[in-house]
């Protein structure tokens, strides 16, 4: 089984999808001859040509608007927004059109597409290249939202997203594009959407996270284990629809939960997770749920590593929760 990083795994998934279905089209800024700013689409232009790997103008609204038209005519577009920070000019197209077509047409016109975009900090990109905007899209009915943490999941979840009848936002944590490596099967396979994974097992505290922060949570779990606290670490993988069963069964077992994400705390996805846990398993809780997140500020440049919820911030939150 070959070893891949996330860039290679995503590239492999795109190639597989394009080979088996000539309706699949990749489009976005610099995705063609250049192969994308992170080289995720490298080689696809040479293999499939400029009618299926399309370099677009610098217009996010135009990219998603064109993709919506393609989808309504039966194609399977995979538009790339070069950085998630630049997705806002396309927000109206995504929210008002792409997310609504299947519902407003009674299922007659699904607007099937996968919108890929890099997210998160850790590469010294400053406040215009480091945001993690998942909450704004999870809030929108009609969209599915995915955020893988490793190459195996990146490939399997992307192929599952391409097969899915609904529009999917596929958030790719750029900090681990090349840092996360692992065994990835050759050929096509899928990872079920709405399936979280318990990456580490323990009975004292549940840590819930996704994307690049998984590795910070695993590091924190290793450190608190030295103080006698064993953690369930859950990688959500699909943020919406969420795997409620895996989440609540873990909290039933531990009675304590810490939620970790990069985005700011106020109205972040962690708020919804806390509400869901309280609604479903409130009487199993032995301590208040705790969130370790980014701060309620624009993403900083020089203080990037202070902003991110890294292991040194997660450890005290877990210990405090375990001892409450």
Could you list the active site residues?
129
Q: How far apart are CA 5 and CA 176, in angstroms?
A: 8
Q: Which residue has the tokens 């936002």?
A: 169
Q: How far apart are CA 265 and CA 97, in angstroms?
A: 29
Copy the structure tokens of residue 260: 């970790």
H helix or E strand, kind and range, residue 250: helix 244-254
Burial environment of residue 78 by CB neighbours within 10 A (0 to 12, 13 to 18, 19 or more): buried
Strand partners, 209: 235
DSSP single-letter state for residue 77: E
CB-based contact 209:259 (threshold 8 Å)? yes
CB-based contact 161:170 (threshold 8 Å)? yes
Torsion from C-alpha of 182, 316, 136, 235, nearest 10 degrees: 30
Q: How far apart are the first and last CA of the chain?
A: 45
CA 128, 6, 235, 27 torsion-angle sign: positive
Please tell me whether the peptide bond between 77 and the residue prior to it is cis, using omega within 30 degrees of 0: no
Q: Tell me if residue 25 falls in helix, strand or coil.
A: strand
Q: How far apart are CA 114 and CA 32, in angstroms?
A: 17
Angle at 193 between CA 189 and CA 197, to 5 degrees: 90
């Amino acid at each position: 089984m070959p070893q891949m990083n996330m860039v290679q795994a995503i590239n492999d998934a795109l190639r597989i999808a394009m080979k088996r279905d000539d309706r699949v089209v990749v489009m976005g800024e610099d995705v063609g001859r250049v192969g994308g700013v992170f080289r995720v689409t490298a080689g696809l232009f040479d293999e499939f040509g400029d009618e299926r790997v399309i370099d677009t103008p610098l217009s996010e609204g135009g990219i998603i608007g064109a993709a919506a038209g393609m989808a309504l005519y039966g194609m399977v577009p995979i538009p790339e927004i070069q950085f998630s920070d630049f997705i806002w000019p396309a927000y109206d197209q995504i929210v008002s059109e792409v997310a609504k077509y299947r519902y407003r047409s009674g299922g007659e016109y699904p607007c099937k597409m996968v919108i890929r975009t890099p997210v998160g900090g850790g590469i010294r990109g400053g406040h215009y290249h480091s945001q993690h905007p998942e909450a704004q899209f999870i809030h929108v009915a009609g969209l599915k939202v995915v955020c893988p943490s490793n190459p195996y999941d990146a490939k399997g979840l992307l192929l599952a997203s391409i097969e899915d009848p609904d529009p999917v936002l596929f958030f790719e944590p750029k900090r681990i594009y090349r840092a996360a490596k692992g065994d990835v099967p050759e050929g096509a396979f899928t990872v079920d959407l709405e399936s979280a994974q318990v990456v580490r097992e323990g009975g004292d505290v549940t840590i819930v996270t996704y994307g690049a922060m998984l590795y910070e949570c695993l590091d924190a779990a290793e450190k608190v284990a030295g103080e006698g606290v064993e953690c369930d670490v859950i990688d959500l993988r699909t943020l919406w629809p969420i795997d409620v069963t895996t989440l609540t069964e873990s909290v039933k077992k531990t009675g304590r939960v810490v939620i970790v994400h990069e985005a700011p705390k106020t109205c972040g996805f962690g708020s919804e997770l806390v509400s869901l846990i309280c609604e479903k398993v409130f009487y199993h809780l032995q301590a208040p749920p705790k969130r370790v997140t980014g701060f309620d500020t624009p993403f900083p440049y020089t203080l990037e590593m202070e902003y991110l919820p890294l292991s040194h911030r997660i450890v005290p939150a877990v210990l405090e929760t375990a001892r409450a």
